[in-house]
Amino acid sequence: MIRLDNVTMRYDKQSAPALKDVTLEVDRGEFGFVVGASGSGKSTLMRLITHEQVATAGTVLVAGRDLRELPERKVPALRRGIGVVFQDFRLLDNKTVAQNVAFVLQVLGRRRHHIKQMVPETLDLVGLDGKADRMPHELSGGEQQRVAIARAVVKKPAILLADEPTGNLDPDTSLEIVRLLDRIHKTGTTVLVATHDHGIVDQFRKRVIELERGRLVRDEAVGGYGTDRRTAEATEGED
Ligand SMILES: Nc1ncnc2c1ncn2[C@@H]1O[C@H](COP(=O)(O)OP(=O)(O)OP(=O)(O)O)[C@@H](O)[C@H]1O
C-alpha cells in the first residue's frame, strides 16, 4: 500500500536531510505508529505519502503509484484515497459539525443523497451522533478531533494518516481517539499515526516505526515507544 525505497528528503541544500535513506513497507490494512523526537522526520514522512513534498532521492510508492512519476492531474485522485488528521483539528469554525464533514463530499462532487447518507453514518462511527448541529467551538478537544477524523474518513480512504492526533488532548481522551483510529483500522483502512505519546504506543502494542534524525532506526511488528532497554532506563530515571 505504501512503500519507500531508499528515500532521502532534503528541504534545502544547507541543512541535514529530514529523511535519510529510509526503506519501509506498510501493507494494506496495517496499523503503525511512527515515533521519534521532534524533528526526526515524522511529518515529512507523512507529507511524502500525500505528495505535498517530493523525495530528493529514492522511490515513494502509494497504492501502486510511483509518486515521482505521478502527473499533476492525478494528484487529486491520490489524495482522495488518503485521509489526514492533524494535532490542531483544522475544522471550519463557521460550519456545523455535519457541514464540516459534508464539505469534503461536496468538494468531491458527490451527490446530495450520498452526502445525506454518509454524514450521519460517519458521525455515528466516530461517536458524534447527536452533535451534528453543534459548532466546533461548542465541542471539547476530543470531540473536535472526532469531527476531524469523520472528515478524514467520510470519503472512505484506503489510507488514514494521523500526525500527532493526540498532541492537544489529555491522556484519557487520547486513549479514546486512538481507540477510534484502531476501530477505523479494523474496517480495513491502512493507518499510520505519528506520535510522541509514550503511553499510547506502549498500551496498544502495534507496529512501531522509529525515526531518529531522519533515519529509520527501528521497525518492530509489535513494540512499545522505546526499546525495552530504553524503556527500562527511562523508568529508572523516573523513580
Ligand atoms: N518546510 C520545511 N522547510 C525546511 N525544513 C523543514 C520543513 N519542515 C520540516 N523541516 C525540517 O525537517 C526536519 C524534520 O522535520 P519534521 O517536521 O518532519 O519532524 P517531526 O518528527 O514531524 O517533528 P515534530 O514531532 O516536531 O512534528 C527538521 O529538521 C525540520 O526542521
> In this structure, is residue 149 part of a structural domain?
no
> In this structure, is residue 226 part of a structural domain?
yes
- In this prediction, residue 189 has a pLDDT band, given cuts at 50, 70 and 90, of very high
pLDDT of residue 228: 54
pLDDT surpasses 80 at 77: yes
> Measured from the CB, is residue 41 less than 6 Å from ligand 1?
yes
> In this structure, is residue 55 part of a structural domain?
yes
Domain count, the chain: 1
> In this structure, is residue 59 part of a structural domain?
yes
Output the CA 118–ligand 1 centroid distance in Å. Answer: 35
234: CATH: 3.40.50.300
pTM of the model: 0.93
Please compute the mean of the pLDDT values over residues 127-133 and round it to a whole number. 96
Residue 17 to residues 20, 213, 222: CA-CA distances in angstroms? 6, 8, 28
Output the CA 11–ligand 1 centroid distance in Å. Answer: 9
> Measured from the CB, is residue 83 less than 6 Å from ligand 1?
no
pLDDT of residue 237: 45
> Measured from the CB, is residue 42 less than 6 Å from ligand 1?
yes
Please compute the mean of the pLDDT values over residues 23-47 and round it to a whole number. 97
> In this structure, is residue 12 part of a structural domain?
yes
> Measured from the CB, is residue 87 less than 6 Å from ligand 1?
no
Determine the structural domain holding residue 4 and report its residue range.
1-81+157-165+190-239
Please compute the mean of the pLDDT values over residues 27-37 and round it to a whole number. 97
Partner residues linked to 212 by β-bridges:
215
> Measured from the CB, is residue 94 less than 6 Å from ligand 1?
no
Full strand arrangement of the beta sheet holding 57-62: 19-26, 2-9, 57-62, 65-66
pLDDT surpasses 50 at 55: yes
Per-residue pLDDT tens over the stretch 78-88: 999 999 999 99
pLDDT surpasses 90 at 236: no
> Rounded distance, CA 115 to CA 103, Å?
9
> In this structure, is residue 143 part of a structural domain?
no
